Structure 1
Amino acid sequence: MIEGLSHITLIFTDLERTSRLFSDIFEAEEVYDSGAKKHSLFKEKFFLIIGVWVVIMESEDIKSETYHHVAFKISDSEYDIYKEKLGAFDIRMRESRPRIEGEGRSLYFYDYDNNLFELHTGTLEERLDNYSKM
């Protein structure tokens, strides 16, 4: 039986640059840095983001952009704050997809290594409720 989410692992070309992005945007707490050691496939850092274990690993083998992404919940009142914070980084923001009214707003952004993240104001319950009304 699946007990829950263990961790999320993403690959990046520059751990330090990504660490700064994670700390500022996600308020991530760094809990491990392998330094030069490689206990896994690559150098790595572990973070806690809202209690979720997120692993970042360093490799030059990065693929092109996709829609695979990790979405984090933010409050609607903080949407513009996060939009401004993201604007301070040299990263590409993606326009939100067309949405049904009431299902929340999203900020999509690609980090330096083409990983896509979403900051979303809605909830699963709101989305399902709005879909059922269609």
Structure 2
Amino acid sequence: MVEGLSHSTLVVTDLDRTAQLFSDIFEAEEVYDSGAKKHSFFKEKSFLIAGVWVAIMESEDIKNETYHHVAFKLSDSDYEAYKEKLEISDIRMRESRPRIECEGRSLYFYDYDNNLFELHTGTLEERLDSYN
């Protein structure tokens, strides 16, 4: 039986640069660094972001940007502070998609390797209610 989300793994070109981004934006806790070892396909680091295990692996084989993304829950009261954090960062933000007002707000941004992240203020229940 599936019990919930285990982790998310993203491929990046520079582990240290992405680790700094995770620290700056998400206040992530780095819990593992493989160093030069490769236990998996590539060198890797693992983080806890709001209790969610997020891993990054280093490779030069990066694809173009897509809408595939990882979304983290954000309280509506923190929306403007995170928007400001993102605007002063050296990263590219993406316009939010059109939304029904009561389904929450989102901030979308790409890391340095075209991985898309979302900070979202709504819940699944609010979204489903807004679609009915």
TM-score (norm 1): 0.95
Question: Please, which runs of 5 or more residues in structure 2 have no aligned partner?
Answer: none
Alignment of 1:123 with 2:107, yes or no, is no
Give the percent of matched residue pairs that are identical in Structure 1 and Structure 2: 83
Task: Give the letter for the 1:120 counterpart.
Answer: H
Structure 2 matches for 1:2-17, cutoff 5 A? 2-17=2-17
Secondary structure at the residue paired with 1:96? coil
| 1:57-110 Cα distance to aligned partner (Å, 9 max, x none) | 000000000000000111111111101111222111011000001111110001
- Amino acid corresponding to residue 4 of structure 1 in structure 2: G
- TM-score under structure 2 length normalisation: 0.97
After TM superposition, the structure 1 = structure 2 runs for residues 100-119 of structure 1, keeping only pairs within 5 Å, are: 100-119=100-119
Tell me the distance in 2 between the aligned counterparts of 1:4 and 1:103: 23
Residue 14 of structure 1 and its aligned partner are, at CA, apart by 0.5
User: Superposition pairs for residues 1-134 of structure 1, below 5 Å?
Assistant: 1-132=1-132
* Distance (Å, rounded) in 2 between the aligned partners of 1:72 and 1:126: 16
Deviations 1:7-30 (A, max 9, x none): 110000011110011112111110
Where 1:102 maps in the other structure, the secondary structure is helix
2:48 is paired with a residue of what secondary structure?
strand
Which amino acid in 1 is paired with 2:27?
E
> Gaps spanning 5+ residues in structure 1: where?
none
Give the aligned CA root-mean-square deviation in angstroms.
Answer: 0.8
**After TM superposition, which residue ranges in structure 1, 4 or more long, deviate above 6 angstroms?**
none
For 2:54 and 2:92, the matched residues in 1 are separated by 22
